[in-house]
Structures are given as structure tokens and as C-alpha cells.
Structure 1
Amino acid sequence: MDTIPLVHASLGEQELAAVAEVFRSGWPAGQGPRGPALERELAERFGVDGAVAVSNCGAALHLALLALGVRPGDEVIVADYTFPAPAHAVRYVDAVPVFADVRADTGTVDPQAVADLIGPRTVGVIAVDTVGLPADYADLKSITDRYGLFLVEDAACAVGATYQGRPAGALAPVACLSFHGRKGITSGEGGALLTTDPSLAADARLRSSFGIESIFEQARVIGLPIPEFTEIGYNYKLSDIAAAILRVQLGRIDALLDRRRACAERYRELLTGEELLTLPHVPTDRTHAWQSYLVTLDPSVDRAGVAADLRARGVGCGHGTWACHLQPVYETKQQCPVSADLFQRTLAIPMHAELGMNQIERVAETLRGSVRTHASPHRT
């Protein structure tokens, strides 16, 4: 029986041709000509004043906090139900992540939970577009403006999603994207920082290259320019190989997203009415990028048993995402009960642009049978 993978990158001949062109150019490393070209295309697509291409979304989050001036001991409120990258970034600058609980229906950060956590050391908020669904930015922006806090959008999973007609990645003054292999567009790894503030983009760009200006640009100057290190920076550059792939992927993004939306719609048709499952909820004022498709199992269902069943039958699956406040690395006594509950009950099933409709039907049939098999007979 053929395996249906949980994730699969949509990379093909166009991307291979772009990589071959980089090889011929003699500049495969970071800061070649394709990186700036990608940045211009990102800025145009998202309607922002600055875009900085970097090695991954975690790097973009780190650079954002540095550019925003976050200091040791500051508190940054972060969405709890997500991959821990935002909280990690807060720790990178020796600040304190404060975890905000999420909405039960969407898994996105609850604006009221954010407002309740604001204290004298709070300097900002990192919202997360949970597995591809934008958060409640109108409410979040109102809160952060009221208290003079910065707002960062972690749009790692949400390239192609929208909120009130605006694209994810342009819903806060600073946004961070991921181009990891399971995202809507990918170069295997990669990321970007987007911002409405050109000076913040310049700060992030400088720090992304050890604190010096682009070596590629310096090499075009007649003579022997010797760079000066003006900031403590990091090696967060994106290679020209990855930038070339992403330029192709940007051109394909609409078709890739249309395919993911069709897959999500077919899952909805096949799984609606299964009382042991809750399907993803998408509010009417936004659209989903469908980086992942998460179902929430009834409390009576043994998730581990369902996962073992699916994998034994060649269907990939995963646990969903994390309740960050429960991770040992943070040693926090905070409680986020909604996030903790979702962490225990969500299950990710195959979602990518290469899925066939016959594969989706097989996934749905297998999942329906498995949740019924692994439901407690004493369900109330």
C-alpha cells in the first residue's frame, strides 16, 4: 500500500532550472544578486516598505526583537499554542516570554488573554497565525496601541492567508515568514522579515550578516573597501540557491494555495458529521493558508491509538502543535487551559499541494474508522 505522507514539498523542474542558473553564476552563497531580487518581490507582494530574506523564521523573529530594542528582563506576550519559535526568540534576547491562551475554536491567540497579561514590564506582543489561520489583528492592534506596545505577526505558516482582505505577513508593523519544507512555498529552509519601517529593515539586514554590509555589493566598488563591523551580528543570510528557488515558488503560489484549499474543502465534505471529530473553524473575515489540517478529537478518543492505526495503514499524521507553557525549557507556572486541551486532542492529517483526491478519500475513510475503534465505550 502506498504511503500518504503528512507533508510533501512541491518542488520541480522550474526550481531545478533556477538552481542550475545559480551554479552557472558562480555565486551560490548568501548576499548574491538573487537575494535582493527576492526581497523586492516580497516587499511588492505584501505591500511593505522593507523585506529582509534570512535563513529561517526563527532568525527573523530574533532580528525583529533586536531591532525593536527588547532588553533583558522585558516581558513579551506570546501566543501559547504554536511551535515554540516565538518564545525561543524572546529568550535569545534574555527577555521573558509570557504565554497567552488561545481561542478554543481557532487556536489563535485570545485578545482578552493578551490584555489580561499586560504588566509594567510588558513591551510587546507576538501573535501567531496558527497553522495558517490569521489571528484577530484588529483587536490585537487596538490593545497594543492603547498600551504603547509593539506587535509582531508570526506568519510562518500563513503565506497566502488573508485577514479582512489583507494578506498575512502584512497584518502588523513587523511580520516574520517561514519557507520551511512544509509551508505553502518553500526552499527547504528559509525565512523573511517584513516591515513597514525601512530603518527597522536596515537594522535587521545588517545584523543578519555579522554586522557588516553586503560583501557582494562591496565587491562591486572599485578599489578595496574594507568593511567595518558596527553591530554584533549573526550568520542569518539566505543563500542565493534558496532565493532562486523562492522566486520560482512565489510565481507558483496562487496555484499551490488553490490546491491546498481544494484539499481542505474535500476533507470538510468527507468528514462533516463525524461526531468524534471537530473540523477546523475559519471565521468569515479571514482565509486559511492550510499549512496543516488539524482535526480535534473527542475527549473519549485515544489519540495515540488513532495515530498508530493511521501510520500502520500508510497514512501520515502528527500531534498538531505545542502548548508552549508546558514545555520543560520554560519552567513556567502559567496556565493556558485551552491551549493545553488542544495540545492533547488535535491530530494533523496529510495536507500538501501534491495530495490526490483519491488519497484524501482514503485518509478520511481510515480516520473515520479509527476514531470509532479508539473511542471509549463509556463516552458521555
Structure 2
Amino acid sequence: MNGIPLVHASLGEQELAAVAEVFASGWPAGQGPRGKALEAQLAERFGVDGAVALSNCGVALHLALLALGVEPGDEVIVADYSFPAPAHAVRYLGATPVFADVRADTGTVDPQAVADLVTPRTVGVIAVDTVGLPADYAELNALAERHGLFVIEDAACAVGATYRGRPAGALAPVACVSFHGRKGATSGEGGALLTSDPAVAEHARLRSAFGITSIFDQAQVVGLPIPTFTEIGYNYKLSDIAAAILQVQLNRLDELLERRDAVAARYAELLGDEELLTLPRVPADRTHTWQSYLVTLDRSVDRTAVAAELRGRGIGCGHGTWASHLQPAFESKQACPVSADLFERQLAIPMHAELDTDQVERVADALRGAVRAHAARPV
């Protein structure tokens, strides 16, 4: 039996051809022609005033917080059930991440939980589009406006998703996206900061290149321009090689997301009647990119045993995502009971655009058998 991986990037000949063009151009580094073209493509697709191509989403979060003026001692409320990149970014600046619990039905941050955590030290909120499903931005943006807070959308998993007809990545004044290998559009690693505020984009662009303008642009000037370093910056640039791959991937995105949608729909058909599983819920006002497909196991099911059986049969699976407040790095004494429960019971099963019908059916059949075999109560 051939293995079925949990994730698989959809990269091929078109992407290779784009890379060859960059090799021939002589400029593979960052902030060159392909990087600029990618930024223009991103700004147009998301309908934003500024797009900055970056090496990953984590650095986009860091630059966003810098541009918004976060300082040591500030508190930033972050969605708890997530890869903890938002909390890491807050800590980079000496600020305190305050973890907000999530909704049990969607795993996205609960606006009421956010409201309950606002204090005089709170300066902003980082919402997360959990594994590709946008959060409740109407409520979150209204809450932030009432309290004078910023909102950052962590749309790492959600490129291609929508909320009330608007694209994820444009649901808050500043958004951060990822092009990691398991995303719908990928260059292996990569990310971007998207914003409606050109000043935020310019601040992020300078800080992403050690605080100076593009070396490529300087090379086009007759004479000898010598840049001046006026502030501390970072090397967060995206290479033109990766930018070229992403231009192709963004052009293919709708097709690739359609394939993921089809996989999710088939899982729902095959597993919808299994009482030992709860399938993902997508509210009617938004769409999902299915970066991951997470099932929630009944409390009677031994998740570790299920995972071991699936992996023993060559079927990839994972724990889902993290209850960030439980991670030792953050030393949090907060309670986020819904997030903690999802962290204990959710299981990721194979989800990517390369899955065929037979593979999806094999996964569903193996999962159904495994949860029944490893339930504490008889089925």
C-alpha cells in the first residue's frame, strides 16, 4: 500500500520555468523585479494599499507589531488555539501575550473572550484564521474600535478564504500571510504583510532590509549611492526565486483550492455519520481554505492509539494545532478551557490538492475503523 502523506505541495513545471527565468536574470536575491511584481500582484488580489513580500509569516507579525508601536510592558491579546507565532512575535518586543479562548464550533478566537481580557495595558489584538477559517472580524473590529486597539489578522493559513465576501488577508487594517509548504499557495517558505496603511507597509519594507532601501534599486542609479542606516532593521526579505514561484502559485490558487474543497466535501460524505467524530464546521458567511482538515474525537477515543494505527498503515496524521497558553515558553497561568480541550481531542488527517478519490476513501475507512477500535466504550 502506498503511503498517503498528511501534506504535499503542488509544485511542478510552471514553477520550475519561473525559477529558470530568475536564474537567467542574474538577480536571485530579495527586493528585485520578481519581488516587486509579486507585491503588486498581492496588493491587487487582496485589494490593499501595501504589500511587502517577506521570508515568512512570523517575521511579518514581528514587523507589524513594530510598525504599530508595540513596546515593552504592553499587552496584546492573541488567539490561543494556533501555531504560537503571534505570541512569539509579541514576546520579541518585550510585550505580554494574553491568550484568548476560542469558539468550540470553529476553533477561531471568541470575541467575548477577547472583550473580557481588555485592560488599560492592552494595545491590540491578533486574531487567527484557524487552519484556514476566518475569525469573526465584524465583532473583533468593532470591539477594537470601541477600545482604541489595533487588530492584526494572522491569515497564515487562509490565503483564498473569504469572510462576508471579502478575502482573508484584507479583514483587518494589517494582515500577515504565509506561503509555507503546507499552504494553498507555497514557495516552500515565504510570507507577506498586507495593509490598508501605506505608512505601515513602508515601515515594514525598510525594517525587513536592515533599514535601507532596495539594493537592486540602488544599483540602477548612475553614480555611487551610499545608503545610510538610520535605525535597526532585520534581514527578512523574500528572494526573487521564491517570489517567482509564488507568482505562479497565486495564478493557480483557485484551481488548487477547488481540489481541497472537493477533498473536504468527500470527507464530509464519508464520515458525517460517524458518532465518534465531529467534523469541521464552516459558518455560512465565510469559506475555508482547508490548510488542515481537523476532526474532533469523542472523549472516549484514545487519540494516540488512533494516530499510531493510521501511521502504521502509511497514513499521515497530526495533533491539529496548539493551545498556546499551555506551552512552557510562555509560562502562562491563564485558563483557555475550550482551546485546551481541542488541543487534546483534534486530529489532522491528510489534506492537500494532490489527494485522489481512492486515497480519500482509504483515509476515511481507516479512520473510522481506528476510532471504533480505540474507543473506551463499545460501538
Provide the TM-score with structure 1 as the length reference. 0.99
In the other structure, the counterpart of 1:347 is 347
Pairing 1:106-255 to 2, within 5 Å after superposition: 106-255=106-255
In the other structure, the counterpart of 1:46 is 46
Amino acid at match of 1:19: V
In the other structure, the counterpart of 2:320 is 320
CA distance in 2, matches of 1:213, 1:231: 12
In the other structure, the counterpart of 1:279 is 279
CA distance in 2, matches of 1:305, 1:113: 33
Note the C-alpha offset of 1:80.
0.1
In the other structure, the counterpart of 1:60 is 60
Q: RMSD across aligned C-alpha pairs, in angstroms?
A: 0.7
Percent identical: 80
CA distance in 2, matches of 1:175, 1:377: 45
SS of 1:108's equivalent in the other structure is coil
Provide the TM-score with structure 2 as the length reference. 0.99
In the other structure, the counterpart of 2:26 is 26
Note the C-alpha offset of 1:377.
2.5
Amino acid at match of 1:37: A
Could you give the per-residue CA deviations for residues 79-128 of structure 1, whole angstroms, max 9, x where no partner exists? 00000000000001110000000000000000000000000100000000
CA distance in 1, matches of 2:268, 2:363: 12
Note the C-alpha offset of 1:283.
0.4
Could you give the per-residue CA deviations for residues 287-327 of structure 1, whole angstroms, max 9, x where no partner exists? 00100000000000000000000000111000000000000
Unaligned runs of 5+ in 1: none
CA distance in 2, matches of 1:241, 1:27: 9
Confirm or deny that 1:329 pairs with 2:325: no
Could you give the per-residue CA deviations for residues 10-29 of structure 1, whole angstroms, max 9, x where no partner exists? 00000000001111111111
In the other structure, the counterpart of 2:366 is 366
Note the C-alpha offset of 1:32.
1.2
In the other structure, the counterpart of 1:103 is 103
- Give runs of ≥4 in structure 1 deviating > 6 Å: none
SS of 2:365's equivalent in the other structure is helix
Note the C-alpha offset of 1:31.
1.4
CA distance in 2, matches of 1:274, 1:308: 20
Note the C-alpha offset of 1:355.
0.3
Amino acid at match of 2:275: E
CA distance in 2, matches of 1:339, 1:250: 32
CA distance in 1, matches of 2:230, 2:300: 58
Q: How many residues align?
A: 379
Note the C-alpha offset of 1:378.
7.0
Could you give the per-residue CA deviations for residues 130-168 of structure 1, whole angstroms, max 9, x where no partner exists? 000000000001100000000000000000100000000
Amino acid at match of 1:222: V
Note the C-alpha offset of 1:231.
1.8
Note the C-alpha offset of 1:230.
1.7
SS of 1:175's equivalent in the other structure is strand
CA distance in 2, matches of 1:370, 1:345: 14
CA distance in 1, matches of 2:95, 2:204: 18
SS of 2:225's equivalent in the other structure is coil
In the other structure, the counterpart of 1:17 is 17
